Amino acid sequence: MPDTILIVDDEPDVVDLLVFNLQKAGYKTSTAREGRTALQKIRDELPALVVLDLMLPGIEGTDICRQLRADPKTAHIPVIMLTAKAEEVDRIVGLELGADDYITKPFSPRELTLRVKTILRRAAGTSMPSETLKHGDLLVDRAKHDVTFKGKSLDLTATEFKLLATLLERRGRVQTRDMLLQDVWGYEGDVDTRTVDTHVRRLREKLGKAGDWIETVRGVGYRFIE
Amino acid sequence: MPDTILIVDDEPDVVDLLVFNLQKAGYKTSTAREGRTALQKIRDELPALVVLDLMLPGIEGTDICRQLRADPKTAHIPVIMLTAKAEEVDRIVGLELGADDYITKPFSPRELTLRVKTILRRAAGTSMPSETLKHGDLLVDRAKHDVTFKGKSLDLTATEFKLLATLLERRGRVQTRDMLLQDVWGYEGDVDTRTVDTHVRRLREKLGKAGDWIETVRGVGYRFIE
DNA sequence: GAGGAATGTGACGAACGTGTGACAGGCTTG
DNA sequence: CAAGCCTGTCACACGTTCGTCACATTCCTC
């Protein structure tokens, strides 16, 4: 799954140029023309990186940067500032605000792409991607150890959580009871295999309507639908 | 303890300029005039960051960068490239080699200092240094080693403070007892995992109503609410 | 549609995990 | 040296969770 990069600029030409080049480099892109929608998209889509024009109609780029840093959910997202002014003052403001880099217009698309790559590589090492599994409205966050369905948090047991995560992680592929016993329970040989069935039942109950995502493959085991 | 920055350049003027400015910014400095000594100093002193001239007598800056990246002990050290040539080709080479940033000569010392700060900040943690952590009316000041809740100062012991700071810093994410033992206790002696429970209890007691911020995730560990 | 096998369902005792109170050793402080 | 605090450990209590069983239901085969 490719990283998504949010591009915030009010000049369509610039946006198109960036979209074209970044997509060619293998990134997904998302765009916003002004500050308010930019902030909303950042919160909703949680992009891997934001390319942010300093001069925007409405909210200034600097303010966006500040608000982005203030929220723990988005504080870790790297920012590259775009600026038409070459003066150092602007650079300082940008960098001290917590921007990770800046580029002055006019810029070479190739250079920007390289900077994006560098920063994302660096970010990949340090921050944890908050390993999260998703299927429709069902969200499983391993770091938070939290499951939500349609925004509502579900109260799962430790084993139930592990079972769900394992099934979801291998969605589409059938897991035999033995496989599950080994990977979820850590068991080796002969345990009553009905144990798995019971936990699947409890899991389905708690998942409610999403419980149907877990299919039983008769004679084999269980599978999370694709 | 200040971070050490290694400056590698064969022009004494440049080196002096950098030393002066970086020391003023609070960093320790170390210098090398050519490639061989540079590599040795990197291995011996393990600097927090390297400022590296691309053009050096003897070994090229690019080679140093490669060798530095090849050794697991030094692979993580950020590198800022200095180059007299402004051509994009050189920039690409530098960035693709694993340099974290570059600056073209002549450069403003102030700008370099800012870049150093940015990169080190990113390398240090995931996000901002965040000397003070906040959640609602709860304030944790790491510098002052002080915790206040609703304006009232709380009297926490060293371990309790560290535990709270660690949990708060990673709010939302569950910390297993082993994780906490490692990060709060340092994992020196093999302490009983129940020790964590006891300290969480004492912490909750002292936090009063804010003690509910610390959730216990059964079968996994503890978590500060988001 | 009958029979058999596999799975869903409900219930229950045991085991487990966590909260709580207490205590002893070690360290600092006066 | 005594007093006090911090810390790690233990034992006990309590609620939750787990694994198992018996029974009901569904599905497949013939």
Q: Which residues of A touch B92 (CB under 8 A)?
A: 110, 114
* CA A134 to C1' C9, whole Å: 29
The predicted structure's pLDDT at residue B204: 94
Report the range out of A105-109, A179-183, B65-69, B203-207 with the highest average pLDDT. B203-207
Residue A121's nearest CA partner among B99, B92, B73 is B99
Q: How confident is the model at residue B73 (pLDDT cuts 50, 70, 90)?
A: confident
Yes or no, beta carbons of A95 and B117 under 8 Å apart: yes
The predicted structure's pLDDT at residue A160: 95
Q: How many CB atoms lie within 10 A of CB A109?
A: 14
Distance CA A126, CA B24 (A): 28
* CA A212 to C1' D22, whole Å: 26
- The answer on pLDDT for B155 being more than 60 is yes
The helix/strand/coil state of B133 is strand
The predicted structure's pLDDT at residue A92: 47
Q: What is the pLDDT of residues B94-153, one digit of tens each?
A: 555 556 676 766 666 777 787 787 777 666 543 344 567 888 889 888 777 889 898 888
Query: Closest Cα of chain B to A212: distance in Å?
Result: 26
Most distant pair of Cα atoms in chain B: their distance: 65
Q: Which of A74-83, B49-58, B64-73 has the lowest mean pLDDT?
A: B64-73
Q: How confident is the model at residue B92 (pLDDT cuts 50, 70, 90)?
A: very low
The predicted structure's pLDDT at residue A38: 86
Q: Give A86: exposed, middle or buried? Use CB within 10 Å, 0-12, 13-18, 19+.
A: exposed
Q: What is the pLDDT of residues B8-43, one digit of tens each?
A: 888 887 888 888 888 877 888 888 888 888 888 888
Q: How confident is the model at residue B64 (pLDDT cuts 50, 70, 90)?
A: confident
Structural domains of chain B ordered from first start = 4-124 (3.40.50.2300), 132-224 (1.10.10.10)
Q: Which residues of B touch A143 (CB under 8 A)?
A: 172-174
Q: Write down the pTM of the prediction.
A: 0.56
